[in-house]
């Protein structure tokens, strides 16, 4: 499928989706957000895709929502249209794992988009920020909630109130990103992580993603019960028998997603 604002490639059962508006540092406009939601939905439905990597350019993952596109909008415009609301719900509902591979700026909606992904691998040159305060607004696709859960109240307040950027080392120290890699190695490392996931049983991958996400949505007791019931349920799969047999027979498992 031909897109104008993103590039999609499928390689070794991994969909690599690149944000591609270099003239605006991959700022999220309505076309990009619509195309991204569509491409992720397609990847989620495509049997040849088992994991997804979302990235931008070396200079910018995404420098936020498109300021030019939204600058003249009124309250009624953004409220009535629920700006980006439908597409973001689609992206939040993708069931296959999505790794954000962040190089350069991940600001405002760009930082929020990276946080919607399942984990973030950062290049050494990555810079994260929620600078919406400098524009007279605040984050709008989850930044006040997700950043606070990732890095705690003090640092989240600092980022949202001062608009300062966090470099890759601080982002790793604070738990915002899972690893930092040399900038030139970002895509190979993210693709290798995605391929690792692609080797697993997709049934347990989905169950793991759902269970970790429960940690954000429910109490500890309910989350642990959800996890335990899914642990029990996985004993109904052929892949559980295969995974454990392969361990005992000292061989690699051959998962069939059943």
* Residue choice 107, 114, 171, 186 for contact with ligand CO8 (CB under 6 A): 107
Half-sphere exposure of 166 (CA within 13 A, CB side): 27
Q: Give yes or no: 132 in active site.
A: yes
Closest C-alpha among 124, 110, 119 to residue 60: 110
Contact status: 67 vs ligand CO8 (CB under 6 A): yes
65 is a contact residue toward ligand CO8 (CB under 6 A): yes
Q: Binding residues for ligand CO8, how many (CB under 6 A)?
A: 21
Active site residue 112: yes
**Least Å from the CB of residue 200 to ligand CO8:** 34
For position 31 contacting ligand CO8 by CB under 6 A, the verdict is: no
Q: Which of 64, 104, 109, 110 is catalytic?
A: 109
Q: Is 105 in the site for ligand CO8 (CB under 6 A)?
A: yes
Q: Which is nearer to ligand CO8, 103 or 237 (CB)?
A: 103
Instruction: Give the closest residue to 27 by CA, choosing from 105, 125, 119, 96.
Output: 105
**97 scored as a contact of ligand CO8 (CB under 6 A):** no
Taking CA atoms, 39 is separated from 4, 52, 110, in Å, by 12, 10, 17
Distance CA 205, CA 226 (A): 15
**Contact status, residue 14 vs residue 49, Cβ threshold 8 Å:** yes
CB atoms inside a 10 Å sphere around CB 229: 12
Closest distance between ligand CO8 and the C-beta of residue 53, in Å?
A: 22
CA separation for the pair 84, 32 (Å, rounded): 10
Q: Of 62, 65, 126, 139, which residue is the catalytic one?
A: 65
Catalytic residue numbers read: 65, 109, 112, 132
Residues that bind ligand CO8 (CB under 6 A): 24-25, 27, 63-68, 83-84, 105, 107-109, 131-132, 135, 139-141
């Amino acid at each position: 499928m031909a897109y104008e604002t993103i590039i999609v490639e499928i390689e070794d059962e991994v969909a690599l989706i690149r944000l591609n508006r270099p003239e605006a540092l991959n700022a999220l406009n309505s076309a990009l957000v619509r195309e991204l939601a569509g491409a992720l939905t397609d990847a989620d439905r495509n049997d040849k895709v088992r994991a997804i990597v979302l990235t931008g350019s070396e200079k910018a993952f995404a420098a936020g929502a498109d300021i030019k596109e939204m600058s003249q909008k009124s309250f009624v415009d953004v409220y009535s249209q629920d700006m980006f609301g439908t597409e973001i719900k689609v992206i939040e509902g993708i069931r296959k794992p999505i790794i954000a591979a962040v190089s350069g700026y991940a600001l405002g909606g760009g930082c929020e988009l990276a946080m919607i992904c399942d984990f973030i691998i950062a290049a050494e040159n990555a810079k994260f920020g929620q600078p919406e305060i400098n524009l007279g607004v605040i984050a709008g696709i989850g930044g006040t909630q997700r950043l606070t859960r990732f890095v705690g109240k003090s640092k989240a307040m600092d980022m949202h109130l001062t608009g300062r950027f966090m470099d890759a080392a601080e982002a790793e120290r604070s738990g915002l990103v899972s690893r930092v890699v040399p900038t030139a190695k970002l895509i190979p490392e993210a693709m290798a992580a995605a391929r690792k996931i692609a080797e697993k049983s997709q049934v347990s991958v989905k169950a793991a993603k759902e269970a970790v996400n429960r940690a954000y949505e429910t109490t500890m007791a309910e989350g642990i019960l959800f996890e335990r019931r899914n642990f029990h349920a996985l004993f109904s799969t052929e892949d559980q028998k295969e995974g454990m047999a392969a361990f005992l027979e000292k061989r690699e498992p051959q998962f069939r997603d059943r």
